[in-house]
Structure 1
Amino acid sequence: MSTLEFLVRKSDLADTRVRERDDVPLAPGQARIGIDAFALTANNVTYAAFGEAMGYWQFFPTGEPEWGSVPVWGFGRVLQSTHPGVAVGERLYGFFPMASQTVLTPGRLAPERITDGSPHRAELPAAYNQYFRCAADPLYTADTEDVQALLRPLFITSWLIDDFLGDNGLLDGQAVAVLSSASSKTAYGTAFALAQRGGVEVVGLTSEGNRAFCERLGCYTRVLGYGELDRLDAQAPSVYIDFAGNGELRRALHERLGGLRHSMVIGNTHAGQRAPQGEAKTLPGPRPAFFFAPAQIRKRTDEWGAEVFGQRLAQAWRDFTARATDDAAPWLRVAHHHGPDAIHAVWLDALQGRGDPRTGHIVSLKAGAG
Structure 2
Amino acid sequence: MTLSPESLDILEQRVEDLTEDARNHAGDEPKKAAALFSKAADVHERLAEAKDSPVVVQAHENKAESLRSNAQSQLRDAGLNPSNSMRDESRPETDVQSEVESTFDEVETDDTQAAIEAAEFFENPPSTELEDVGGLDAEIGRIHDGIIKPHLYPEVFNAIGVDMSNGVLLYGPPGTGKSLIARAAANELGYPYAGVSAAELGSEYVNKGAQNVQRLFAEAKQIQPCVVFVDELDSLARSRSGGPEQTDGTRQMITQLLQELDAIQGSEICVIGATNLVEDIDGAIRRSGRFDRKIHIGAPDADDRRDIFQIHLEDKRVSGDLDWNEIIEWTEGFSGADIASVVRQAGQAAASESIDEGVVSPSDVPGITHEHLMEQIKEKEPGVKEWEEEQNHSLS
The question of a shared fold, defined as TM-score above 0.5 by the shorter chain, is answered with no
Bigger proportion of residues as helix: 2
Larger Rg: 2
Length-normalised TM-score, structure 2: 0.27
Structure with greater strand percent: 1
Q: TM-score, normalised by structure 1?
A: 0.29
